[in-house]
A = this chain, B = another copy of it.
């Protein structure tokens, strides 16, 4: 495993680990109730705050991204309370499914696959139904490679009524690679996970919680224990977590955040933009048609239709087996129809070039 070249893991998470993160993952355990852990916790949270663009709380949960999304649902809603879920693909739908599993009547505002959400449609949906008090929206839809304009959506939510509904953002496959200004834009809760742009193994969900969100959380009546953010806030006050945290993932995340600080956020965003453009150009040069609306194509993952008559699942499998290149396949309705090439986290030009070469060879057969 240790000999697997990092450059060939082009799925949209887990993303490749830089050497420094791998080294950090090997550190010895410490007491999760001791001073060393508290220092680790503080470094991680302080490293995350500028990436969120928040002066609010950033809480850590030992779970994958879906656990973080569930936390955002069960901490903001109550039985019978309506929620607006803005969905542009599989992961938006997943949020709606979580809410439905908890008995929350969900209004789905869906857009065609490959399209971004229209802010004006969000505002209209909120104006149509004054009972919609919480809005859940995806920042970057991993299944289609489309990025929503969260700044504009947040403005639409704010202008829909006064006081504005709560805005919860799934930024799992964007935060740290695509700009997020949580406080400035007016996002109240922003969820992400360790295994994406932060270049850390999966196992941690991180939730930014703005000051406007806490009254919702205090009122929320959906049942919760492990994911209760009130318990998380209580422990966060002493740089700790209510239940034994994934200590190694925090080691890894600290190292990943250190690398991100060294590169600088603007440089990271520019690199992702550049590699996304390179990937799109390369896939088109290979004759593939891109899925996303060009105005909203993602900087972290590019989805393209496989050629007519080609079995997408077989192609993805052959890329892995014969070329050692791991890309994402289509999910849901797009199963077998597309492939998804990630350019997220620890990735550079050569990685993209190698992926395109492997794909060219596989398609030539």
A66-B243 in contact given A29-B201, A31-B326 (Cβ < 8 Å): yes
Residues of B within 8 A of A32 (CB): 14, 202
Chain A residues with CB under 8 Å of chain B are 1-2, 4, 6, 9, 11, 13-17, 22-23, 25-36, 62-67, 70, 97-98, 101-103, 193, 195, 201-203, 222-228, 242-249, 251-252, 320, 326, 329
| A248 partner, pick from B13, B25, B36, B320, beta carbons under 8 A | B25
Tell me the complex Cα distance, A15–B243, Å. Answer: 15
| A29 partner, pick from B17, B31, B102, B243, beta carbons under 8 A | B17
Smallest beta-carbon distance A294→chain B, Å? 28
Copies of this protein in the complex: 2
A29 touches B246 (CB 8 A): no
Smallest beta-carbon distance A235→chain B, Å? 12
A27 touches B9 (CB 8 A): no
| A101 partner, pick from B23, B224, B329, beta carbons under 8 A | B224
Tell me the complex Cα distance, A228–B101, Å. Answer: 10
Tell me the complex Cα distance, A14–B34, Å. Answer: 12
Tell me the complex Cα distance, A246–B25, Å. Answer: 12
Residues of B within 8 A of A242 (CB): 66
| A26 partner, pick from B2, B15, B30, B249, beta carbons under 8 A | B2
Residues of B within 8 A of A202 (CB): 32, 62, 244-248
Smallest beta-carbon distance A126→chain B, Å? 25
Could you pull out 6 A-B pairs where Cβ atoms are within 8 angstroms? A1-B30, A9-B29, A14-B29, A23-B26, A246-B249, A248-B248
A244 touches B26 (CB 8 A): no
A9 touches B31 (CB 8 A): yes
Name the 4 nearest CB pairs between A and B, nearest first: A203-B246, A201-B248, A66-B243, A26-B26
A244 touches B102 (CB 8 A): no
A243 touches B33 (CB 8 A): no
Residues of B within 8 A of A22 (CB): 26-28
Smallest beta-carbon distance A328→chain B, Å? 8
Smallest beta-carbon distance A19→chain B, Å? 9
Residues of B within 8 A of A62 (CB): 62-64, 67, 202-203
B13 touches A28 (CB 8 A): no
Tell me the complex Cα distance, A36–B15, Å. Answer: 15
Write the chain B residue with the least CB distance to A3: B28
B1 touches A226 (CB 8 A): no
Residues of B within 8 A of A67 (CB): 62-63, 67, 226, 243
Most B CB atoms within 10 A — which of A32, A64, A193, A326? Answer: A64
B17 touches A243 (CB 8 A): no
Most B CB atoms within 10 A — which of A29, A35, A195, A246? Answer: A29
A244 touches B14 (CB 8 A): yes
